[in-house]
Structure formats: C-alpha cells, structure tokens
Amino acid sequence: MTLFNKIKSRGKMMKKLLFVPALLLSASLLASEYNYEITPQIGFNLAEGNLDLKNQMLGGVALQYNGFDSYFAPELSYLYTRTRYEGFDDKIKTDINRVALNAVHEFESVGSFVPLFKIGAGYETISKHEKGNTDSVFFDAGVGAKVLVAENLALKLETIYMIKDNDRRWDNNLAILAGLSYAFGAKEKPAPVVVEETPPPPPPPAPVAVPKPTPAPAVVVDGDDDGDGVLNSVDKCPNTPIGHKVDADGCSVLVNLQVNFAFDSYKVEGSYMPRIKEFADFMKSMPEYDAKIVGHTDGRGSRAYNQKLSENRANAVKDLIVSEGVESSRVSSSGMGKDAPIATNDTAEGRAENRRIEAELKRK
C-alpha cells in the first residue's frame, strides 16, 4: 500500500504530463502512407492487488488517425472485460469498459519491425461497485511494436500500464494486447511542382568558315609488309614467309619445319607432309636460296648414337623435299645430335620439341 500512496502523491504531476503530447504534435512526420488504421485486439489484464479483482481477459478495438504531419498520431481505443471479485462466489461479477484517447509515436522501421510508444488518458466504468471500485478517470502509457505482414496489414503487440484514481486511492492495471492492424484511406500525394523554364535565346549565327587548301595526304614511305621485323626500305627479301628467321637484310636464314619424330625413330609421319611441301614450294619459288636440312634429337642416349640418329632424320626430310621437285644440288643435310636443344629434356613435351628438323638457308 505504501507504493500506492506514493503514486497518489504524484497524481497531479502525472496529469500535467498529459499535456506533453499536445506540445509535440508538430515535431515530426509520420511514416504511414494511410490516414486511418483500425486494430481489433485481444489480451490479458493483470489487476493490482487492492482492486480485489481477478486477472481478466480483454477484448477491444483501436482507431488511429495518421493524417496529421506530427510527431504523435491520435488514437481512440476501447477495451472490455468481464471479471469477478476476489473472495466472492462466481455470482458477483462485473463488466469493465475502458475508453481512452492516446498519442502514439511510431519510430523508424527496422526491416518489417516498427517500434512504438503511447501515452494518454481515459475513463473506466465498472458495473458492480464493490470494495470501493468506482467509475473513474485513468492515465496510461505503453510500448509495443508492429510487425508488417503486408503493405497495409500488421501484427500489433502492446504492453499498456494504467493507473486509476479510484475512490480516493490509486489502483494499477497492466494490459498485454495483441491485434491485427488494417490501414486504409491512402494519403494524397502532392502533385509535382512543374517549373516552366524560360527557353534559351537562339544561338548566334555560325561564323562563315574561310575554306583552306586541303593538304596533300601524307605519304607512308616505310613499313614492314611481310612482318619479318625489317622495314621495307632496307628489306632485300620483301616476301619472307611468316615464321622464317631473317638476317638484317630481311632474308630467311633459319626455318623450323615443325617436323617431330617419335623416340628412337627417323620415320616422317604423313601428317607432316603439308609442311614439307610448303617448304619445297618456297625453295622452288626462291631459286637464289640453298638449304641445309639439320636433324636434332632429345637428350636421352649417348652422343654418338644421337648424332647418327639426327643425320638419318635430316636425310629422310631432305629426300622428301627433293621428291617434291627441288634440285638435289640445292639441298644438303647434317645432324646436330643432342647438342642444340630448344626446350628442356626433363619433360616429355620438351623432349618432343627437341626431336625436330630445321632448315638453314643461304643466299647464293
């Protein structure tokens, strides 16, 4: 009971607090896009001991108006319960009706979660005035949240504390409520402001251009038409095939025929014949060249064995070039064995590259 006496002594101060919502009504804008929302509610009321009433189930409805551009939105709520007094048989029952006007503020949403708080006052009527319970004004304050489930539909959860000036004493109730809020009456959006722009003045007339003599096109005096890295002005062999290594005059000196052999073999596979024919055609079109066909091996085996194998490979390719119509006097052959690798001998791929045929070219 000491707690209630303290509350009673502060009653006047609490009444003054009811004017705070009115002072804040123009502080901020509401986030709602609708003018109205209605919330049917159910819940449970915890009655303070000196009310001498049983805890009770509640039912009711709340109507909120969001049309003001203000920090708080006004809400009119109604709650009803039927309960009985402690210490009496079930025949002593009473109906309790509560009507309240609250100011509600909704905070910025966090995802679909919208926190809120409210403060207000109301009036309570009670049908059986037992144990000093009378009709009376009450003050309330609460916190809660909306959980949005659709554009204009939300689950609303609230906890509301109510203090009642009841026959010269202060009694307390705590209501826990859940409801489904439906928003309606979409707010009118202001029409966009159309600003008519003054058309810009017409541009000044373009100056008359004085024709100038057209310069003669630049003459390209040099280039590298065959792509061998030697400029046309100094290239003595201007039609070098792609892939040939050339000297400073742009003339072919070395050609890798891209002919490879199986291990320990000097048989030329048929797939290499197009390359051999291509080289033979080059030799026939360039009679000023002689060619030395050089055979190579990978690094396995003795030097003497690989020397003989490389010579056999060179001779086999030489014979095929001559068979394509190149004079035998212009084609010679030799072997380098394993002494001039172009790739590592530590891998199968590298060894295959080393088993090759090259043509060294010499101009007459």
* Size (the chain), residues: 364
- Extended strands (E) in 222-272: 245-246, 252-256
Q: What is the pTM of this model?
A: 0.46
Burial class (CB in 10 A: 0-12, 13-18, 19+), 358: buried
What per-residue confidence (pLDDT) applies to 153?
A: 92
> DSSP class of residue 17?
H
Superfamily of domain 245-363: OmpA-like domain (3.30.1330.60)
What per-residue confidence (pLDDT) applies to 11?
A: 46
**What is the domain partition of the chain in residue ranges?**
10-186, 245-363
What per-residue confidence (pLDDT) applies to 51?
A: 63
What per-residue confidence (pLDDT) applies to 8?
A: 46
What fold, for 10-186? Answer: Porin (2.40.160)
Please check whether residue 155 is in contact with residue 178, taking contact to mean a CB–CB distance below 8 angstroms. Answer: yes
What per-residue confidence (pLDDT) applies to 219?
A: 57
What per-residue confidence (pLDDT) applies to 205?
A: 72
What per-residue confidence (pLDDT) applies to 128?
A: 87
Is the CA virtual torsion 338, 343, 345, 351 positive or negative? negative
What per-residue confidence (pLDDT) applies to 320?
A: 93
pLDDT averaged per 10 residues in sequence order, the chain, 364 residues = 43 43 34 83 83 84 91 95 74 90 91 92 90 87 93 92 81 93 81 64 71 62 77 80 81 85 86 91 90 92 91 94 93 93 91 90 86
Q: At 36, phi and psi to the nearest 5?
A: -130, 155
Q: How far apart are CA 305 and CA 321, in angstroms?
A: 25
What per-residue confidence (pLDDT) applies to 125?
A: 92
Q: At 256, phi and psi to the nearest 5?
A: -85, 115
